[in-house]
Amino acid sequence: MGYGIRLQVWGDYACFTRPEMKVERVSYDVMTPSAACGILEAIHWKPAIRWVVDKIHVLNEIRFDNVRRNEVESKIAHGNVKKAMKGGEVELCIYANDSKQRQQRATLLLRNVAYIIEAHFEMTDEAGSGDNPEKHYNIFLRRARQGQCYQQPFLGCREFSARFRLIENNEMLPQSAQRGVDKDFGWMLLGIDYIDNMTPKFFRAMMKDGVIEVPRIEEGGIGK
């Protein structure tokens, strides 16, 4: 195990979308490990390190809300992107004001969320001679303490920005509304196994005393 950190994240809204919902967005009850990993990578990531989420603490009461939003119907065609990369003249944009592109979609999201992410990072084969665990650990600590990030972390959807703060090693954990609560959230997305041909892996998300233990993707994940 590499250098471990504890990061508290919170926000007004969150949507950790269930992949089985094809049209309307429906959030999982709690943050997914892949979303937690994305927040850590938004603060500090290099090819030399790989973040591994160990635990997710659920701090607030789980509350759902339903909203409807205007969205665009289509995506930019993959073929157009490849053509543009080869120097071809093609329009790479979608006009959101076009009535043919707009459509309303419902989203079942979470309100007033707060979590603690316990995680560590491991060195990868991409690490160079100037890379070492202490260097990257100190970079992350400095950024997290000062509220700095490479890109704005978000809670499932980019429009739901996440605020964060580092929990120091000698600091007590914040009080949780889920303390003493055990719950089975069913099968939850663990992440994408890029080594196994980009296979999505799932795990049984069991919350005990407000804490979800996260298995390693190569050990505990169940393929789709």
Q: What angle, 0 to 180 degrees and rounded to 10, lies between the N-to-C axes of helices 33-43 and 133-146?
A: 90
Mapping DSSP to helix (H, G, I), strand (E, B) and coil, where does residue 179 land? coil
pLDDT at 1: 44
Q: Is the pTM of this model over 0.75?
A: yes
pLDDT tens digits, 113-156? 999 999 999 999 888 888 899 999 999 999 999 999 999 999 99
Residue 85 has pLDDT above 60, yes or no: yes
What CATH number corresponds to the domain at position 23? Answer: 3.30.70.2660
Query: Mean pLDDT score of the chain, rounded to an integer?
Result: 90
pLDDT at 164: 97
- The answer to the question of residue 198 being in a domain is yes
Number of domains in the chain: 1
- The answer to the question of residue 58 being in a domain is yes
Tokens standing for residue 208: 């005990």
Exposed/middle/buried for 181, CB within 10 Å: 0-12, 13-18, 19+?
Answer: middle
Rounded Cα distance, 124 and 105, in Å: 40
In order, the DSSP letters of 39-85 are: HHHHHS--TTEEEEEEEEEE-S---EEEEEEEEES----HHHHHHHH
Between 196 and 224, where is the model more confident?
Answer: 196
pLDDT at 51: 94
- Structural domain of 160: 4-69+106-223
- The answer to the question of residue 153 being in a domain is yes
